[in-house]
């Protein structure tokens, strides 16, 4: 992807967001050529030496060698290297847990899990079993009981999204959900409330929210460490 000089606003926007991005060496290796060294080659050499760094640090490092260098040139070079799959760009590290919570895309699983649980509770409480919308209760209720408990547990156990295959994640989520639901049922059996709708709903919600919160914390820690 070579940035178009016509869409200046877009370039600015990309440059701004890329500025804080962390850079990791990927497939690129600097070539020891005696000819004139290009900016991309200099950047790769610098990244080889310093390991993971930010664009800002790269700019500062390269400016020592080329004092006339501008920030825009460095950013363009970084995008070019990224497009050539020579460097990998990562989101900037979250400054706090709240900041981490704001990264919607990364934590979509968390909000979706809580959202489905919340809607399921609403449907169970407000839509009577004879209503045509009962189908929604079957669909969301099945996800709530057969998928989400195991899924949030896996999110905590495998914090990185790419660590296990999506199919494996779904398969294990279903199996783990069944185990967790049986365990919750066993605990409920020994409480004064027994295995009834309200205690089931409350306990499964607590389990889901608790496991999701634990998973979120674990992911935050793994992200910042």
Q: How many residues bind another protein (CB under 8 A)?
A: 42
User: Binding of another protein at residue 122 (CB under 8 A)?
Assistant: no
- Pick 54 or 205: Cβ nearer another protein: 205
**Shortest separation between residue 11's beta carbon and another protein, angstroms:** 36
From 4-12, 79-87, 110-118, 132-140, span contacting another protein (CB under 8 A): 132-140
Give me Rg for the CA atoms of the chain: 25
The full length of the chain comes to: 225
User: Binding of another protein at residue 134 (CB under 8 A)?
Assistant: yes
**Shortest separation between residue 183's beta carbon and another protein, angstroms:** 7
User: Binding of another protein at residue 60 (CB under 8 A)?
Assistant: no
**Cα–Cα distance measured from residue 62 to residue 53, given in angstroms and rounded to the nearest whole number:** 12
Nearest CA among 46, 208, 6, 4 for reference residue 117: 208
**Cα–Cα distance measured from residue 101 to residue 225, given in angstroms and rounded to the nearest whole number:** 16
User: Binding of another protein at residue 135 (CB under 8 A)?
Assistant: no
Helix 71-83 with 8-19: angle, nearest 10 deg:
80
Query: How distant is the alpha carbon of residue 86 from its chain centre?
Result: 22
**Shortest separation between residue 184's beta carbon and another protein, angstroms:** 7
From 27-35, 45-53, 110-118, 178-186, span contacting another protein (CB under 8 A): 178-186
67, 104, 196, 225: which one contacts another protein (CB under 8 A)? 196
Nearest CA among 176, 170, 196 for reference residue 185: 196
Interaction pattern, residues 80-119, with another protein; x per rule: CB under 8 A: ----------------------------------------
Q: What are the E-state strand segments in the chain?
A: 22-25, 53-54, 87-90
SS (H, E, C) 185-221: HHHHHCCCCCCCHHHHHHHHHHHHHHHHHHHHHHHHH
Q: What residue ranges bind another protein (CB under 8 A)?
A: 120, 124, 129, 134, 137-138, 141-142, 144-145, 153-154, 157-158, 163-165, 167-168, 171-172, 174-176, 178-186, 188-189, 194-197, 200-201, 204
């Amino acid at each position: 992807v070579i940035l178009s000089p016509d869409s200046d606003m877009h370039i600015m926007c990309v440059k701004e967001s890329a500025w804080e991005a962390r850079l990791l060496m990927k497939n690129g290796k600097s070539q020891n050529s005696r000819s004139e060294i290009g900016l991309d080659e200099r950047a790769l050499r610098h990244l080889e030496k310093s390991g993971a760094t930010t664009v800002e640090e790269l700019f500062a490092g390269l400016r020592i060698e080329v004092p006339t260098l501008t920030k825009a040139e460095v950013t363009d070079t970084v995008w070019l290297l990224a497009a050539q799959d020579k460097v990998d760009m990562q989101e900037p590290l979250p400054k706090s847990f709240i900041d981490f919570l704001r990264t919607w895309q990364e934590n979509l699983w968390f909000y979706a899990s809580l959202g489905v649980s919340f809607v399921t509770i609403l449907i169970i409480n407000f839509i009577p079993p004879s209503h045509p919308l009962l189908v929604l209760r079957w669909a969301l209720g099945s996800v709530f009981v057969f998928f989400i408990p195991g899924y949030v547990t896996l999110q905590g156990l495998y914090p990185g999204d790419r660590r296990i295959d999506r199919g494996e994640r779904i398969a294990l989520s279903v199996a783990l959900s069944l185990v967790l639901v049986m365990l919750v049922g066993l605990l409920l059996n020994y409480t004064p409330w027994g295995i009834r709708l309200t205690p089931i709903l409350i306990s499964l919600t607590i389990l889901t929210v608790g496991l999701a919160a634990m998973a979120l914390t674990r992911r935050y820690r793994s992200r910042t460490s």
